Amino acid sequence: SVTVVSYLSTQEAGLTNGTPVEMSSPASASSLFNRLQLDDDLEGDNRDPYAFTETRDLFVTVDDPKKHVSTMETYITYRVSTKTTRVEFDLPEYSVRRRYQDFDWLRIKLEDSQPTHLIPPLPEKFVMKGVVDRFSEEFVETRMKALDKFLKRVADHPVLSFNPHLNAFLSAKDLNKRQGLALLSKVGESVKQVTGGYKLRARPAEFCAMGDYLDTFSQKLGTIDRIAQRILKEQSEYLTELREYGTVYSSWAGSEEELQRPLEGVAGCVSTCCGALEDMSENMSQDFLPVLKEYVLYTESMKNVLRKRDQSQAEYEGRLEAAILRKQEDRTPIPMEVEKCQDKVECFNADLKADWERWQSNKRQDFKQLLTGMADKNIIYYEKSQAAWESLVTLLQDKQTEDKTSETN
């Protein structure tokens, strides 16, 4: 028997397809969301492609994680909800449960059947035992958001969203991964047959620029991630010390009647600062770092497509050179397989360019929201801390006035 446990008591509303988690915005007048108009400087083709919902006909959401406990294993499943008007689906709405390995199956199938396209990354499967509890509420919710984003990106893609494997993933009650679907595009089959026997002469300049950008971008993200991890660790240590620091003042106030109010005021300020710091650290660990990791994985996915494009070009160049030599020797016409290789390269080039533009557009939107949210959280932290200490100054001044009045009387 399998025991199913509802994992999260409350869930956030479904995320807008392909966009990062919406950062909370306070009512404070200093909120960046009230002061910045992020999209005013964007051209029309750079605006959020998911803002105009009337052009979309496939909506997906991943939520409601549940823990399953059996004698053989313990695992988490997620509810995958679908609403659509597409004729490829038999029903307008579906609700199925999927576990991580099902998402992994889908990504592998998409990569095999659509080799010329950029497949969005999944969150990393393995976690270090003893370091991260993969059944903790925080881990499960972070993974759920990442799976939701992955599926939304696939569902919003003009080609991937029509893949039959996605249809099966969204609609089939029981996903038979062993048998799978008898689907591999001709392009996919031919790419799988490409071996290392061909050597690329020269990558075109525009694709060289892509490769250079990805190398630099991934290095910068890696550096930011490492520093952010250290900051998070230091904040955690500081928070522990700060809590102990506040407790000392509370204890002291109990044995010092004349200083009780000021000491309790200091303890209250420290407690407020602890809460504000905890909120800021939580934002970094649950919203900021996951986006960085997603884009590190995204760059690896893009590099993989770029390598496959290079292999395809190398195959075409090798076959073309061999065909030209044969033609010079015995006037043999250029075989059809060379033309097919050329078509494959052109298909790779067109699909890669289109996906590159889509990725860049999404990246601009994601990082604008991410950095704005980070700035807003920092402002909230310092405003709360400042307000707490200013209230203490007022309390101390009032206490001083009371003491003078008592001395006069």
Its pTM stands at 0.76
**pLDDT value at residue 28:** 42
Asked if 254 and 384 sit in the same domain, the reply is yes
Task: Give the domain CATH number at 121.
Answer: 3.30.1520.10
**pLDDT value at residue 172:** 92
Asked if 358 and 262 sit in the same domain, the reply is yes
Domain-embedded: residue 49: no
Domain-embedded: residue 98: yes
Task: Give the domain CATH number at 347.
Answer: 1.20.1270.60
**Residues for the chain: how many in total?**
409
Asked if 359 and 249 sit in the same domain, the reply is yes
Asked if 169 and 218 sit in the same domain, the reply is no
Domain-embedded: residue 297: yes
Asked if 135 and 235 sit in the same domain, the reply is no
Asked if 251 and 304 sit in the same domain, the reply is yes
**pLDDT value at residue 265:** 93
The tokens for 290 are: 């996951």
Domain-embedded: residue 271: yes
Asked if 129 and 262 sit in the same domain, the reply is no
Asked if 159 and 215 sit in the same domain, the reply is no
Domain-embedded: residue 43: no
Q: Structurally, how many domains does the chain consist of?
A: 2
> How does pLDDT run along the chain (409 residues), one tens digit per residue?
455 555 544 443 333 333 333 434 344 434 443 444 444 444 444 444 444 444 689 999 999 999 999 888 889 999 999 999 999 999 999 999 999 999 999 999 999 999 999 999 999 876 544 446 778 888 899 999 999 999 999 999 999 999 999 999 999 988 776 444 444 434 444 444 444 456 777 889 999 999 999 999 999 999 999 999 999 999 999 999 999 999 999 999 989 888 898 999 999 999 999 999 999 999 999 899 999 999 999 999 999 999 999 999 999 888 888 888 877 767 667 778 888 999 999 999 999 999 999 999 999 999 999 999 999 999 999 999 999 999 999 888 877 776 666 666 5
Structural domain that includes position 99: 60-174
Domain-embedded: residue 180: no
Domain-embedded: residue 195: no
Pairing label, strands 3-6, 93-99: unpaired
Asked if 282 and 403 sit in the same domain, the reply is yes
**pLDDT value at residue 126:** 63
Domain-embedded: residue 14: no
